[in-house]
Amino acid sequence: MLNQILIDSERPQPLVEQIVAAIRNRIDDRILRPGVRLPPIRRFAEAQGVSRFTVVEAYDRLVAQGYLDSRRGSGFYVCARPLPEPEGEDLERVERAIDAAWLMREISSESEDRVMAASGSLPVAWMEGDAVMRKLRQLARDPQARVTSYGTPQGFAPLREQLQLRLAECGVRAQPSQIVLTYGATQALDLVARFFLKTGDAVLVDDPGYWNVFSSFRLQGFRLLGVPRLADGPDFDALEAILSRDKPRIYFTQSVLHNPTSSCLSPAAAFRLLQLAERHDLLLVDDDIYGDMHAGSATRLASLDQLQRVIHVGSYSKTISGNLRVGFLAARADLARQLTDVKITTTLTSPEFAERMVHAMLTEGHYRKYVERLQTRLLRATERCCRMLERLGMTTDFDPVGGQFVWARMPGLRDTTALARRALEHGIVLAPGSVFRANGQPSEYLRFNVATSCQPRLERFVAENLAQVG
């Protein structure tokens, strides 16, 4: 099973690290099972064209990391890796909450020999890494950068002032005092949930929708009420029925480039949703994390409502850097103050050094040009991805208008989860539709990242499996 490992001396990654990553991935994916004996050092070194010392170091690292067991005179064997079990009466809830966490683990363990069709991020080569490093060096030399100090609870004031201008371009009027900087959009959504909800409360979410938010909400004991997502917004018949029956207080949704469908809220749907929110005293949380990837104008709930019943959430993790983790929320002034207090209670502040970095990127003028190039590149990638899926006979009920994803149906399959598990054995990471369902229901859909999916290896795998179910 190690014959398929590809070791390449031309890669910048050291050979030892390539071997360690490849074996570790196969153990994590359960391709190499506990108790399996690895090839002897000399044979593995000859097969890969590397020195025995390189293999010895790789095996020793895997022993230190708990992946292998070294048995004197016998060789190296795969270790059993039991997951620690949570204690207490909340065990069942925790298990349900992490049902989809395997996807995040697989996405996070990227390697060059894997097809990352499930990735939620842009390829590193698409990002402006050189510009980020240049700004990092400049900022490190700035005596005002406060690299060892705490930031302010509400966030770096000049960045909040810049966000005021950027929100105004989208038609949203917000003073800097109404903007709270956060550790990515994830913290912004978490602050809102902590403030407004308690264990057992019902919360409205898009179905399909953002799977990591679902897992977080389940972990906190919230009851998820899925609102079917149509091409132009929520299914209003279903939404009105839920509002009348369950009387939830809050709805987490996405107006622009919805994840996973890449659809956008139409103006008519946005007006109707705001009318329902007024009638049922409903708070709307609009996650606009992909907004900068949309070419042209788009309808945002906050631009129509002006932050009366809408909390607007954004982030630069998807476009500037996932490592910087700079996000924000914009809300009514009273809510911004209260949510800042929640932030102080839970994390004190957010990272000002990272906030200064993002501020520098936004104000130098380069970011706008980069985003325009990114939008064009994503549109072309979307067209290529859709053509590939059409060749395979897969169908899309949502017409993607850019962004990172295509949401496509796998004909002949009621649930794509088993297919995704099978794909892992071939070094292909797929995102099955069930993880995007509010309560993990079976789904015949898959989410494809348009920037990472157009690869012959993936197309062959899907074609072969379609033939089997056809």
pLDDT digits over 372-424, tens only?
A: 999 999 999 999 999 999 999 999 988 888 899 999 998 888 999 889 888 98
In the numeric block, which tokens belong to residue 288?
A: 């606009």
User: What is the reported pTM?
Assistant: 0.80
- DSSP of 273-337: HHHHHHHHT-EEEEE-TTGGG--S----HHHHHTTSSEEEEEESTTTT-TTT-EEEEE--HHHHH
Q: What is the arithmetic mean of pLDDT over 61-88?
A: 79
375 near 161, Cβ under 8 Å? no
Does residue 6 fall inside a structural domain?
no
Last residue of a domain, one of 316, 331, 366: 366
Percent of the chain with pLDDT over 70: 92
One domain, residues 119 and 140: no
Looking at residue 31, which CATH number applies to its domain? 1.10.10.10
One domain, residues 266 and 393: no
One domain, residues 51 and 174: no
> Is the per-residue pLDDT at 97 higher than 60?
no
The whole domain housing 42 covers: 15-78
> Is the per-residue pLDDT at 106 higher than 80?
no
Spatial distance between the Cα atoms of 157 and 359, rounded to a whole number of angstroms: 10
Note the pLDDT of residue 278: 97
Does residue 173 fall inside a structural domain?
yes
Does residue 58 fall inside a structural domain?
yes
> Is the per-residue pLDDT at 298 higher than 90?
yes
Does residue 84 fall inside a structural domain?
no
* Range picked from 60-64, 234-238, 439-443 for highest mean pLDDT: 234-238
Looking at residue 248, which CATH number applies to its domain? 3.40.640.10
Note the pLDDT of residue 32: 85
One domain, residues 117 and 186: no
- Average pLDDT of the chain to the nearest whole number: 90
Note the pLDDT of residue 107: 67
Does residue 326 fall inside a structural domain?
yes
Give kind and range of the element (H or E) at residue 250.
strand 250-253
> Is the per-residue pLDDT at 26 higher than 60?
yes
Does residue 9 fall inside a structural domain?
no
One domain, residues 297 and 392: no
Spatial distance between the Cα atoms of 65 and 150, rounded to a whole number of angstroms: 34
95 near 417, Cβ under 8 Å? no
One domain, residues 402 and 436: yes
One domain, residues 289 and 408: no
Greater confidence (120 vs 108) lies with 120
One domain, residues 403 and 274: no
One domain, residues 59 and 158: no
Note the pLDDT of residue 99: 55
> Is the per-residue pLDDT at 89 higher than 60?
no
Q: Hey, is 400 helix, strand or coil?
A: coil
One domain, residues 270 and 385: no
Domain count, the chain: 3
Does residue 89 fall inside a structural domain?
no
Greater confidence (290 vs 139) lies with 290
One domain, residues 280 and 151: yes
Return the bridge partners of 408, or none.
446
Note the pLDDT of residue 103: 65
**Lowest mean per-residue pLDDT among 46-50, 185-189, 312-316, 430-434:** 46-50
Note the pLDDT of residue 100: 60
One domain, residues 250 and 398: no
Does residue 339 fall inside a structural domain?
yes
